[in-house]
Amino acid sequence: MDVLRGNQSNVQEYLLQGSILETNREMLLHRLNGLCDMVDTGPEKFHDHEMVFVLRGPTAIPSVVLSVRRALDHAENPWHIRYVGPVEVGDRNRPTLMRSCIDVGVSENIRQFLGEMGFALDYEYVSRGYIFRKGRLKVTVSKLNKVLNSSNPEHFEPMSSSCLVELSVVAPYQDQIQEDMKNFAEQLKPLVNLEKIDHRRLQQGI
């Protein structure tokens, strides 16, 4: 995935998410291959191990959540640490979810460093799938897998019979980005319906 550079304080992630049954995945991959830029080369493949760490404070203070990701198929690549802020409060009619985002490369000892800072591993999973690009738009189609042995992330099993589909852009604030994403998402219907989903509201049962 992407490393952000320059002035990161103004960077936003725009996001739409959906799911598709694995039995229909090939139809979606074929549609994306026709819509996106890599018609000749095909999509990028990825096989990542992601660990989510939480620093819990007093009840009145929100927990800090950081994601650490490494590529299992390219061990020589740097690890990444990612922070996403709360969903931006604003116009409910916005076509996409929008939140601040920081994603940077780190060394392999990041887990030890986070432990010394007081972070604890909350959960982990392995994702395998494809990345498509259409200009600044990025689409991922991935299968999420439960890690069965923390010391060996290659030992996993599928969480469900569905694949996660995400359409995202990481960039400074621009209204046009959301319209571009909305228009692209329309071209994927009825195979997959991409929506803005606030997972924190789901966890709170709102």
Q: What kind and span of H or E run contains 73?
A: none
Name the CATH superfamily for 8-203: Hypothetical Protein Pfu-838710-001 (2.40.320.10)
Q: What pLDDT score does 89 carry?
A: 65
Say what the pLDDT of residue 63 is. 86
What is residue 1's predicted lDDT score, i.e. its pLDDT?
A: 39
Euclidean distance between the first and final Cα of the chain, in Å?
30
pTM of the prediction?
0.86
**Structural tokens at position 128:** 């395998």
The pair of structure tokens assigned to 6 is: 């320059």
The pLDDT score that the predictor gives to residue 149 is: 85
pLDDT at 200: 54
Instruction: State the pLDDT at residue 91.
Output: 63
Burial pattern 51-71, b for ≥16 Cβ within 10 A else e, equals: bbbeeeeeeeeeeebbbbbbb
pLDDT attached to residue 182: 95
Give the whole-angstrom CA distance, residue 41 versus residue 187: 22
Quick check: 25 and 190 in contact, CB under 8 A? Answer: no
Residue spans of the chain under pLDDT 70: 1-10, 39, 60, 89-91, 198-206
Q: Are 156 and 127 in contact (CB under 8 A)?
A: no
